[in-house]
Structures are given as structure tokens and as C-alpha cells.
Amino acid sequence: MHLSDITHPNQLHGLSIRQLQQIASEIREKHLQTVATSGGHLGPGLGVVELTLALYQTLDLDGDKVIWDVGHQAYPHKLITGRYDRFDTLRQKDGVAGYLKRGESKFDHFGAGHASTSISAALGMALARDAKGEKFKTVAVIGDGALTGGMALEAINHAGHLPKTNLLVVLNDNEMSISPNVGAISRHLNKMRLSPPVQFISDNIKEQVKQLPFVGDSLSPELGRLREGMKRLAVPKVGAVFEELGFTYMGPVDGHNLEELIAIFQQAHQHTGPVIVHVSTVKGKGYAIAEQDQVGYHAQSPFNLTSGKANPSGKPKPPGYSKVFAHALVKLAENNPKIIGITAAMATGTGLDKLQAKLPNQYIDVGIAEQHAVTLAAGMACEGMRPVVAIYSTFLQRGYDQIVHDVCIQNLPVFFCLDRAGIVGADGPTHQGMYDIAYLRCLPNMVLMAPKDEAELQQMIVTGVEHTSGPIAMRYPRGNGYGVPLMEEGWEALPIGKGELLRQGDDVLLVGFGSMVYPAMQVAEILSEHGIEATVVNARFAKPLDTDLILPLAKQIGRVVTLEEGCLIGGFGTAVAEALLDADIVVPVKRLGVPDILVEHAEPNESKAALGLTTPQMAEQILNAFFSKQPSVVS
């Protein structure tokens, strides 16, 4: 049997080790070819090929449920659950999603784009199963990096309190999240890797001791305690921790030895109650370049399989926003030891790895623990430090309660830097930074700003660091800047709540925020070709809004358009509309942004076209809304 023949995971039943090894090889080949061509996550999936095959050979996937944490480690799962023929569409518009997606396959039992959710979801399914009197097995596969997230530990704590609830947790231990793991749990797991596999005391020890003269059945309770005590001695330290929490611990086992994996999974299925199987894997297994650079090859843009190097782009690109952010922050931190960069396991993605390399004492990685990151920063702010919390827009949502209670209510000067704000592309709905304007601007004491380009980003970093009267946040997009000149020194903070007038015209007022300011200027050029002259304002701040600039212009011109790369409900356009209403200025307002829908995975330009957010489309909408008598020939 070949990988291309598999349309249902139950077809793995009865295959020999040699046949499974052949399929494993084909999975890696397909995985590598696909990611090398179109880009995507690489290392995580390569590391779980044997784990996936062995686990699925021991389950009946017509009923049993496997819940994968995060989902980018589930590419092998996708390849053996009916998506082989479409796998070359991975992360492309209308193609196979880069993460698990319930609507994509009946085998994707729980969507997963954020880490640390699998055990909670699997336990919920197990409890529902028991309540309905059903019998299927429930398995959560979670990476050791995700154990740094408090939600995973909360789920383990709950599951361990349910000795009659059957749940299997497979711990995929590769010593990595995206970057190397941090924290005490990671340190203990590393120790486990250096110890021999655990061999539990066999159940027949009781029978053996009972054969001793004068013993018989009289010491059964004592024998039970003896057996458990001997078991504790046999279980390494981390295993003992899980056992004390109520789990049966098994492992560690070689995650690339199919025979051992199948045996331990079969054994695990025989136990009652929660069981954890500790599997030791290598991230990037089977592709030597990825094994040697596990951070760099966590995910890749299209690359040459032989050399491992990214395919050359057609022309040099301006620096990315993350790179400019990192460079500016490092320069400021060199002169201000109170600046502390904080990340939640995303050092490379946010650019804070540059701060780590240059000023390691001013850098903190808390692991996948956004809630902790926010409150940690609040505590540091209490002591006069300048914490800079760099987290993707979509991931900061996980720390929202802490932003409210621990930062805003106490009015503490924490600087939030929201990378990947707006439309991010191939990662899809779980990663689109759609909601941060809405969820931050409603909070008392919060200041919210967004740069129009990479030079203004530099100024806003200074602004955020120097703002000490309360919390402040800056959102900025994924990808490259515009190539505008950058300053190496002499940066000045921007006045809080003050926008910028970029262009004047009498027919319509365009108010752009952040990444939509340059498109607003381009829209104004298109409108000018139709004899319509627009005033363009770079708002800079969504809160406080520059009402001194915007309101008189709105009243004078009489037509207002807002442009934002975020959700329309509660977003920047809503802020402008509210300000107009509060000032009793009744003028027509057209809001351009993301409507009340999920933005699926696609290239950002494809998503913008589908949302009507390309510059010609926005100009067309403005013509239709305010100038319907004008001939509309925008293309």
C-alpha cells in the first residue's frame, strides 16, 4: 500500500512495520515537496510521522477521536485522512488549511490555531461521551511547548481528578515550541530524555508476593501500597509529577520507533482513567537541514529542497515591520536598562530574538503563556520598569482579562506591541489580527496607535516607551514596509492623540488608520481622476482620537470615509462615527474595513480583493456612496 492509496486512517490497520515505514517515508517526501513549493510549517509535522501512524493503527477512527494541539503538527494527519490529492493546495485560497478545521474533514474534531487547548477539548468530549453512554476513545496530542500554557495545566489538573474518565494524552516532546522551550517543566522533561525508558512494576508482582509463606491474601492493602511505592521509585521525576496529579504515566518512548510506539499505545488503551504517554521526537525528523535548524525551519517560505535556502525574490524588499521594530527597540534599550522586552514563545516572529542576542538581561520569554506575560509586565511596571510586551494581535486576545484587570484598572504603563495586526494571509482565521482595535479601544486608560509606515513605527516605539501615565498599545502589520527612509537616531515621541493632515480637498474626507493610510492616499489619486478632491488624514491614534483635526474637517466637507484593516464592528470607523454623533455633527459616513465574517486563508491581496479593500474597489465604493451621478469606470 502507498500513501496515495490511503483515504481513511483505518486502512493502516494490519499493516506491517515495514509497510508503515514506507508510508512514513512517503509522508515526509510529500510534506517536504509541498512546503518547499508553496511554503508552510515544516519541522512540526516531520517530527510526528511515526507517532501519527502508530497511534492511528491502534484506534478505530470511525468512532475514536484524536484532538491535535495547535494543528501545524497535523500535516501527516491530513495526508492519511483523505486530503492527499489536494495537499498541494495547502494554505492557498480555497485549499487545504494550514491548521485543523472542523469544516474541512470529519477527522478534524477540533479546530486548532492557538496552543494548549487540546487536553481541555478532549476531556470535554470524553465527559460528553460518558454522559451519553458511548464508548469511543479520546486522545489529545500535545507538544511539550504547549505545556508552558496554563490552560494545558488546568486541563491536566481537572482530568487527574476524574479517575474513571478514560482519556489518553500523548505528550510529543521535542524540546521545542517554535523556539527552544523555557521554564521548569521543560527542564524536567529534558532530564527525562536522559533517563532510560520506564518499566513499570508488573501487575503480577502481587501474585508473586502472595505465594510467600504466611502471606496469602492477608496483606493485600499493604501489598497495594508497596506496589505503588515501588512504582514511584521506577517513575522518573516528571513522571511522578503526572502520577501525583492522577495520571498513569508511560514513557518516555522513542517517537520514531514504530514497534515501540504501537506497543505502548496498545498498552495505554487498556488502562482506566487518564493516561499520559511521553513520546520523545525530533523536530524536523528526516530532513537534516531542518533537524539542525529547528527554529528556522519551524515554518518556511518556498525554498530549495537540496540547499534548504529560500527561493530568491525578484527584487530587494524594504525591511519588514518586525525587523524595524526589533532594531529600534534594541537601540532604545541599550540606553535605557529599564526597558524589558517580553514575549510569549514568539521571539523570532516578533523580532525580540534580536534583543535576546544583544541584551539578554533585558529579555524575557514566558513560554506560551500570554496571560502570565501581561500580568508579569504589570508587576514590573509597578516597580518602575518599562515592559514592552510583543505579542501577535490574535494571541494577545488570550490575555484580555489581564489587560483589563491587571493593567487598565490599575492604569499601569505597559507598552503592548501587536505584531501581525490586520490580514495575515495563509494562516487563516485563527491568526488574522482583526479584533484588536475593537477590544482595546473600549478599555479605560488605554491609548491605541498604529503607524502608517516603518518610519512612523520608529517614532511610535519611542512614544510607547516614554508614555508613563498609563497603558499604551501599538498595532502594526505583517510583512514589509514601504521603503521610506529610516532614522538611526534623533527619534522623537509623537504627541498623544494627534493625527496628521496629508492632503487637502473639498469633496470627501478620508481618514486612514495604520496600514490603510497609504491606500487612502492612493484612493484619493483615483478619485482625483474623476474630478473629486479628497482630504486625507493619517489618524495615528484610534484612542484618543484627534477630534480637533477630524471634526472640523468632517463638518466642513460633509462626507466622511474611514479606512481600517480590522473588524468594522467596534473598530476605528465606529470610533469616528461615535465622535461625530457626540459632537452633533450629522454627515454621511462610509466605513471601509472587514465586515462581520471570518477571513479564510489566502494571500493577503486575495483576501483584500474578496473583502473589497483594494484601492480601486474602495474608490468605486466611495463613488457609488457619495457621487452616484458621477460616471464610475474604476477598474
**C-alpha torsion sign, points 347, 352, 353, 357:** negative
The C-alpha cell at 406 is 491587571
> Has 187 been annotated as catalytic?
no
- What gap in Å lies between CA 160 and CA 156, rounded to an integer? 6
Block residue for cell numbers 451519553: 132
Strand partners, 562: 511, 591
Catalytic residue, chosen from 370, 456, 565, 620, is 370
- What gap in Å lies between CA 20 and CA 85, rounded to an integer? 20
- At 252, which helix (H) or strand (E)? strand 248-254
CA nearest to 265, candidates 21, 27, 53: 53
The answer to whether 496 touches 473, Cβ cutoff 8 Å, is no
Which ranges of 116-183 does DSSP label H, i.e. alpha helix?
Answer: 118-132, 150-159
CA 103 to chain centroid, in Å, comes to 20
> Has 232 been annotated as catalytic?
no
CA nearest to 257, candidates 276, 229, 233, 279: 279
> Has 456 been annotated as catalytic?
no
Decide: helix, strand or coil at residue 511: strand
- What gap in Å lies between CA 2 and CA 22, rounded to an integer? 8
Catalytic residue, chosen from 398, 420, 590, 591, is 398
The C-alpha cell at 271 is 488502562
The C-alpha cell at 336 is 535605557
Block residue for cell numbers 490529492: 85
In terms of DSSP bridges, do strands 40-41 and 299-300 run parallel, antiparallel, or are they unpaired?
A: antiparallel
CA nearest to 245, candidates 346, 356, 159, 160: 160
- What gap in Å lies between CA 290 and CA 283, rounded to an integer? 8
- At 589, which helix (H) or strand (E)? strand 589-594
The answer to whether 254 touches 15, Cβ cutoff 8 Å, is no
Which ranges of 347-475 does DSSP label H, i.e. alpha helix?
Answer: 347-350, 352-358, 370-382, 393-396, 400-402, 436-441, 454-466
**C-alpha torsion sign, points 320, 323, 328, 331:** negative
Block residue for cell numbers 496607535: 449
CA nearest to 493, candidates 466, 457, 475: 466
The C-alpha cell at 116 is 494548549
Catalytic residue, chosen from 283, 420, 475, 540, is 283
Active site residues: 283, 370, 398
